[in-house]
Amino acid sequence: MQKTPRHIAIIMDGNGRWAGKRNLPRIMGHRAGVKAVDIITEACVRLGIEALTLYTFSTENWKRPKKEVDALMEMLQKNLKSNRDKMVGNNIRFNVIGRLGELPPPLKKALDEMMRTTKDNTGMVLTLALNYGGRQELVDAFKAACAEAEEKRADVSSWKTEDIESFLYTRGLPDPDLVIRTSGEMRLSNFLLWQSAYSELYVTETLWPDFTPAELDKALKDFAGRERRFGG
């Protein structure tokens, strides 16, 4: 039985509630959430996790107030620049998935620079899901698959799961072994719908800014005690 997940994916939920409990603006909750990202990323590096994927901003999050969205985008951009040396020092390869063309140009530039800077790193792959939606990913994958099939006049009747996976945003990454959701909500919220088909799910009431390495350890111990059958 696999005791340690190769790939952990996290639905980071609860920043707004964390701020509300403290009578703080929602943006303060997001700032606390960014600090939690840095702490958990370093913890995963120490544990030897191969891949960590974080649900950072969904396609539905654009419905939030513009002021909040703008502040989030600026915060992400600044965090990328301030963490560049740390990423290199920790041998992390940075990755991002989602409809990136719809992101603000300054943020897109910062993302591209971080990916270029870390592309030769050989350690953990840190993936941010930005402007990401699982259904949208499948739509984009099927469009790309259809275009390639038409161009190459391929016989799609022989295609298997692996053929479709090659068109997903996450191609090259293993499927997540463990999906963690903070704040107690019991749903995937359009996150890695294809990839999570056989993932183990772990839900905690802990709000994301309060999710510490000790909380991560609880999730890993729970994972280690499960028997993964994959339908068998």
Beta strand extents in the chain (DSSP E only): 7-11, 51-58, 93-97, 125-132, 178-181, 200-203
Q: With pLDDT > 90 as the criterion, what percentage of the chain qualifies?
A: 91
Q: From 57, 44, 86, select the one nearest 211 (Cα to Cα).
A: 44
Evaluate if residue 59 carries a pLDDT over 80.
yes
Evaluate if residue 2 carries a pLDDT over 80.
no
pTM of the predicted structure, to 2 decimals: 0.95
Q: Minimum mean pLDDT among 117-126, 153-162, 181-190: which range?
A: 153-162
* pLDDT score for 222: 97
Catalytic residue list contains 61: yes
The C-alpha angle with vertex 134 and arms to 133 and 140, in degrees rounded to 5, equals 85
Distance CA 51, CA 45 (A): 9
Q: From 188, 18, 165, 7, select the one nearest 95 (Cα to Cα).
A: 7
pLDDT tens, residue by residue, 95-124:
999 999 999 999 999 999 999 999 999 999
**φ, ψ dihedrals at 70, nearest 5°:** -60, -40
What's the CATH fold of domain 7-131+176-224?
A: Undecaprenyl pyrophosphate synthetase (3.40.1180)
Total length of the chain: 232
Q: From 191, 184, 188, 182, select the one nearest 211 (Cα to Cα).
A: 182
Evaluate if residue 232 carries a pLDDT over 70.
no
Evaluate if residue 227 carries a pLDDT over 50.
yes
* pLDDT score for 138: 97
Residue-range domain boundaries for the chain:
7-131+176-224
1: confidence class by pLDDT, cuts 50, 70, 90:
very low
DSSP assignment of 156-175 equals GGG--HHHHHTTSTTTTSPP
Evaluate if residue 47 carries a pLDDT over 70.
yes
Catalytic residue list contains 90: no
**Annotated catalytic residue within 61, 79, 121, 190:** 61
Average pLDDT over the chain reads 95
